[in-house]
Amino acid sequence: MRIYLVAGELSGDILGAGLMQAVKRRHPDAEFRGIGGPRMLAEGMQSLYPLETLSVMGLVEVLKHLPGLIKVRRHLRRDALAWQPDVMIGIDAPDFNLGLERQLRATGMRTVHYVSPSVWAWRQGRVKTIARSVDAMLTFLPFEAAFYARHQVPVAFVGHPLADELPLVNDRQAARTALGLSSTAPLLAVLPGSRGNEIRFLGPTFLDSAVWLRERVPGLQVVIPAASPARRQELEVLLATHPAREFVHLRDGESRQAMTASDAVLLASGTAALEAMLCHRPMVVAYKMAAATHWLAKRMVKTEWISLPNLIAQETLVPELVQEDASCEAIGEALLTWLGDETHRQATETRFAALHATLQRGASERAAEAIDSLVVYGRLPEEPTA
């Protein structure tokens, strides 16, 4: 089997390597070509460009690199047509890959896209372009698969790699010991985001919320895992003159450990909310942004919820506080629901563990099975069973 793979960033390299391993278990002599990173190269990938070639963020940066990206896509199209793979798989990087997939599919080549863009949330009209571009979409989440099925796009829900990575049973006390925190005092994990703007908009409010809670929950511990050295520096500046500095434990990374150790989590919306769910910890999602950005987002986003746990469950399991609703008092009151009621907290943890189980499906194996079925039979299996 010959597979043409195009990944555009580190996360795509990780996904691609897992997929290649799963394919090789089915087809030991499989060949791989396209664009990949060090993990994919270690699995036998022949990469025509460095992984970073497609890692361009921001409108100005994309415009500056656009001529080069168009040249790369033309080269990949010619190369794929000359090599004649059984299937071309674009891993994420939708702005680049969907165009390449559409061009190759027009020639009769089978194409697959692995990792759905957020078409279900905004610019839903893009689904028509996706339908013309791919023979199959492989999604991490069930609500994504339902969206594509409604629009008659062949789709397979393969599960989420994070759910495969994190255990269905975790140890709160072991995580606290590893972090050097009390095994008995209540603990709040605070994750204000991985971007500088998130620290700027959310950091002061999250620290105020921690102080508000500390006044009502005696002995409350607070741990903040900084997402990067730059974010740690920004947090240290905020803490230097803030009363929360007396009881906040700042850590480098260790976000999963911090969430697992906690009784509740306060975080910005994003992948961290999914990770908190997969650690089975109750949470409050809060988000603030520039007023103009919020005005635009309200008119573009088509979903009822912004956090992945609620989207996966298709109901409000997690309080979502956005913009002016994200006051320290409102955040504190929502967190008290978890910190003050152990029965409610345990019920939520049980529900999150059940959702975790629905996502823990062996994503790489299921993706490989779906691709195998598409190549051999020209269709996806109704429900991959690997």
Return per-residue pLDDT of the chain as tens, 386 residues: 999 999 987 888 999 999 999 999 999 999 999 999 999 999 999 999 988 887 654 344 555 667 788 899 999 999 999 999 999 999 988 889 999 999 999 999 999 999 998 776 556 778 899 999 999 999 999 999 999 999 999 999 999 999 999 999 999 999 999 999 999 999 999 999 877 888 888 999 999 999 999 999 999 999 999 988 989 999 999 999 999 999 999 999 899 999 999 999 999 977 889 999 999 999 999 988 776 665 666 656 666 778 889 989 989 999 999 888 999 999 999 999 999 888 999 999 999 999 999 999 999 999 999 999 999 999 998 764 44
- Domain(s) labelled CATH 3.40.50.2000 in the chain stretch across 2-159+361-377, 172-359
Pick the CATH number of 172-359 from 3.40.50.720, 3.30.300.30, 3.40.50.150, 3.40.50.2000: 3.40.50.2000
pLDDT score at 386: 40
pLDDT score at 79: 98
State the architecture of 2-159+361-377 in CATH terms: 3-Layer(aba) Sandwich (3.40)
Q: What is the CA radius of gyration of the chain?
A: 22
Dihedral sign, Cα of residue 13, residue 154, residue 356, residue 25: negative
pLDDT score at 58: 39
- Nearest CA to 140 out of 320, 11, 293 is that of 11
CB 381 within 8 A of CB 156: yes
CB 380 within 8 A of CB 182: no
